[in-house]
Amino acid sequence: MIDIHGHCPDRFSGVKDAFAANFTNAPEGLDELAARFSVCIGGETVIDLWAGHADAAKTTPFTDRSLVPVFSTGKVVMSLMIATLVERGLTTYDTPVADIWSAFGQAGKGEITLGQLMSHQAGLAGFDQTVDPSVWFEPGAVLERLAAQAPLWPPGSASGYHPITIGYLAGEVFRRLDGRTMGTALREDFADPFDLDLWIGLPEDQHDRVAQLRKPSAAPDLGTIDPIKKAAFLDRGSAPGGRGSTEWRKMEIPSANMHARADALARLMGVLAGGGLLDGKTILSPETLAEATRERIHGPDRVLPFTIRWAAGWMRNEGLDIFGPDPQTLGHCGWGGSCAMADPTTNVSAAYVMTRQSPHLIGDPRALRLFEALYAAV
């Protein structure tokens, strides 16, 4: 019997049942160790459930203060931070990145726009040469390499998911236009004033709140492997390594190392679901929201084995059907199964975090079960 904490109105009892079933009757090898599922409707948190243990030895309860590494689910926040630059008139999605950061224009990249960069069309999904994984802990070296590198495919011709590089690139755009790092701006503009427990770069005094993960039992299925997929996911230096978890957590990598609570992610995604508002304050105007969330490219992705409709950083649900039934829903998934979504049709936003990771690149069956139960009652 699993001890579930939080709140869930009777109307959504099926969601609580589905959450419990992920602990007691999950697909093979995916039974939960700890998880949290939060849902906002109209900007108000209506469901917030958590259960399990924060450590592998099952001696420490997972609580409402526990943080979880959500990896690429953090891209929903990264993309919103870029949208705030557009909202403030500091740039547009049609602006060439080289106009913001001149060195980026090397090697045939001078015409790549911010909108193309954010929708994974820039051809910089990974390095074109094998690097030592410790290079990721030297942001200046990463940016210098990417700025000098030629695209791995013709920019604008296709999307190709940038697992980690997009965080360094978007972060540099943000820093040059705003003057702050993205992690600092997230804390000052959102986390502190709106009480959102979201971190890009986790201070060491917060590390004891981080729940332990169990890695997937199998590698993800990337489809047919080619040099682009190798550069993005499989080369020795395609992901950070060579430093301990403390240094990893402290780094600011907006695409990959966010630490978060599900309730905070769900509330922030309410900006996309609720017409640009957060707690009644306008974060994005209707015009900026429309530009940020519209489809920018649609087709077979060069890195992920899916046909994807990309907005400016978020996946659109049409054709994927992983964030409920509405094709207008936007969201993103993270390594191991976490995800966050926003449905502007029903003004529903939600987030799922967990500690047992699965090999599913998107559409983890535990999250699908929760969304199915949610929409059965919405």
pLDDT per position as a tens digit, 192-229: 999 999 999 999 999 999 999 999 989 999 999 999 99
pLDDT tens digits, 30-49: 999 999 999 999 999 999 99
- pTM beyond cutoff 0.95: yes
List the alpha helices (DSSP H) in the chain. Answer: 13-24, 75-87, 97-100, 114-118, 139-148, 165-178, 182-186, 192-194, 227-229, 245-250, 262-273, 286-293, 365-377
User: At 28, is the pLDDT very low, low, confident or very high (cuts 50, 70, 90)?
Assistant: confident
Q: pLDDT at position 85, please?
A: 99
192: Cα within 13 Å, side-chain hemisphere? 7
Alpha-carbon distance of 97 to 256, in angstroms, equals: 21
Alpha-carbon distance of 216 to 29, in angstroms, equals: 9
User: At 359, is the pLDDT very low, low, confident or very high (cuts 50, 70, 90)?
Assistant: very high
What the block records as the tokens of 338 is 């976490």
> How many contiguous H segments (helices) and E segments (strands) does the chain have?
13, 14
- Distances in Å between the Cα of 116 and the Cα atoms of 75, 120, 125, 143, 314 are 15, 6, 13, 18, 12
Q: Cβ distance 170 to 182 under 8 Å?
A: yes
Which residues face 332 on adjacent strands? 340
Across the chain, what does the average pLDDT equal?
97
